[in-house]
Structure 1
């Protein structure tokens, strides 16, 4: 049985070679392990990683983050161009810097809402992480502590609102549980 990393890497390397990057999206609810999986996959593929946490415009910015991802990252990369996006500073509550992403053989995008709506059609590999809510909460609060705790319920409602009609797990190439 292949490990989750092996499953995602296998999918990515099966995409026929081309002049534009192979775009891999890793999605799931908060605390599912997206960042960890993305880091391991990126290491194996020698890929760049885009973290959606940098694109949200705060705790209610899931839909805005997805729109920014599509417009400023996925579309340019799919055309073989560099991407550039504003980076949100969670301390100041505003976009404070910019990040540039060069076209590479592989680019991994990770974060809640990374495979929904218009992003879906631009991604070559879509991964959904399915983890029980109590474990996700425990992980997220251990990682982000008091910064996330007061926002957990509102963020979960936002996940329900955006994931509900879209159902990204039904469009994933790989669904990874646990």
Structure 2
């Protein structure tokens, strides 16, 4: 288990809630998906967490802000307040919204993706994680991961994320700030 994963597992184990909400944010290519997968594999309690990836709900390449808003308004806010949240998948191939998915508070929840940790979502989370990485490393990872599909959208996506960071200040909201530069494999 890598040091960042050990830190996150220890932080989850220290939480005094049964079914915590964990948010993992950071720029594209920083290692969020890999960290989330490793966290699920090493989850310190018997209740297996549910994982929601923002890549599954952004409404297209220009949808970072909409996806971030949906996490707070439709998923973690209602989940915390009523015990049931939901998210709507995006059909990337068809370019339109897909099915709704309900999430119940009977299990832990991990949400990972660019825009997961906003001012609105942070107050509903039990653990807020920021994962950064060297800009050149993360760009290389992200473009290699998507085998050309991301290349034409990199600048637009990165500009959206820069604006998100400027307005939402996710680093200031984070309980843990980690460096994913040395992650062993291509990550998101």
Change (3 A) 1:9 1:105: farther
Higher share of residues assigned helix: 1
SS of equivalent residue, structure 1 residue 113? coil
Contact residue 131 and residue 178 of structure 2 kept, 8 A: yes
**Following the alignment from structure 1 to structure 2, what is the Cα–Cα distance between the partners of residues 167 and 84?**
25
How is 1:57-72 mapped onto 2 (pairs within 5 angstroms)?
57-72=59-74
Query: By how many angstroms is 1:15 displaced?
Result: 1.6
Query: By how many angstroms is 1:86 displaced?
Result: 1.2
2:128 alignment partner in structure 1: 126
**Which ranges of structure 1 fall in alignment gaps of 5 or more residues?**
none
**Following the alignment from structure 2 to structure 1, what is the Cα–Cα distance between the partners of residues 76 and 98?**
21
TM-superposition CA deviations, 1:134-175 (whole Å, max 9, x none): 111111111112211000001111111111132211221111
TM-superposition CA deviations, 1:24-82 (whole Å, max 9, x none): 01000011110110111122222110111122111111111011111221022213523
Decide which moves more: 81-90 or 33-42: 81-90
Work out the number of aligned pairs and report it. Answer: 175
1:9 alignment partner in structure 2: 9
**Following the alignment from structure 1 to structure 2, what is the Cα–Cα distance between the partners of residues 169 and 43?**
25
**Which ranges of structure 2 fall in alignment gaps of 5 or more residues?**
182-188
**Following the alignment from structure 1 to structure 2, what is the Cα–Cα distance between the partners of residues 80 and 88?**
24
Decide which moves more: 95-104 or 166-175: 95-104
TM-superposition CA deviations, 1:80-136 (whole Å, max 9, x none): 523222100111111122223232342110000100120111111111111011111
Structure 1's consecutive aligned runs of 4 or more residues displaced over 4 angstroms after TM superposition are: none
Q: CA RMSD in A?
A: 1.5
